[in-house]
Amino acid sequence: MKNMRKNKHLLPRGGFTLVELLVVIAIIGILIGLLLPAVQAARAAARRMSCSNNLKQVLLAVHNYESAFKRLPAAWSKPSLTGDGWSAQARLLPFIEQLGLSDGVEYAAGYKRAQIFVDGQWVKVSSFRVPTYLCPSEVNDRTRFDSSGQPQHYPLSYAYNAGRWFVYNPNNQQVGDGVFLANRYSRFRDVLDGLANTLAFSEVKGWTPYLRDAGQLDSLTMPVVSDQICALGGSFKSETGHTEWVDGRVHQSGFTTTFPPNHKVLCEFNEIEYDVDFTNMREGKTSNARTYAAVTSRSYHGGGVHSAMLDGSVRFVTESIELQLWQDLSTRAGREVVAVPE
- DSSP string computed for 230-268: HHH--EEEEEEET--TTB-SHHHHEE--SS-TT---EEE
Over residues 25-61, the pLDDT tens digits come to 888 878 777 776 766 666 777 888 899 999 999 999 9
Q: Where are the domains of the chain?
A: 48-330
H/E stretch holding 210 reads strand 208-212
Task: Give the residue from 118, 114, 116, 131 showing the smallest Cα distance to 247.
Answer: 114
Residue 53: per-residue pLDDT: 95
Instruction: Give CA–CA dist 65/69, Å, rounded.
Output: 6
For residue 295, pLDDT beyond 60: yes
* 309-334 average pLDDT score: 95
Task: Give the residue from 178, 176, 321 showing the smallest Cα distance to 263.
Answer: 321
CB 156 within 8 A of CB 133: yes
Percentage of the chain beyond pLDDT 90 is 71
181: left (phi over 0), alpha (psi -120 to 50) or beta: beta
For residue 21, pLDDT beyond 80: no
Task: Give the residue from 68, 269, 267, 318 showing the smallest Cα distance to 185.
Answer: 68
Q: pTM for this one? A: 0.87
CB 276 within 8 A of CB 229: yes
Task: Give the residue from 316, 298, 330 showing the smallest Cα distance to 210.
Answer: 298
**Confidence class for position 340, pLDDT limits 50, 70, 90:** low
Residue 103: per-residue pLDDT: 87
Residue 336: per-residue pLDDT: 75
b/e per residue 20-59 (b: at least 16 CB within 10 A): eeeeeeeeeeeeeeeeeeeeeeeeeeebbeebbebbebbb
Beta bridge partners of 33: none
Residue 16: per-residue pLDDT: 66
Mean pLDDT for the chain?
90
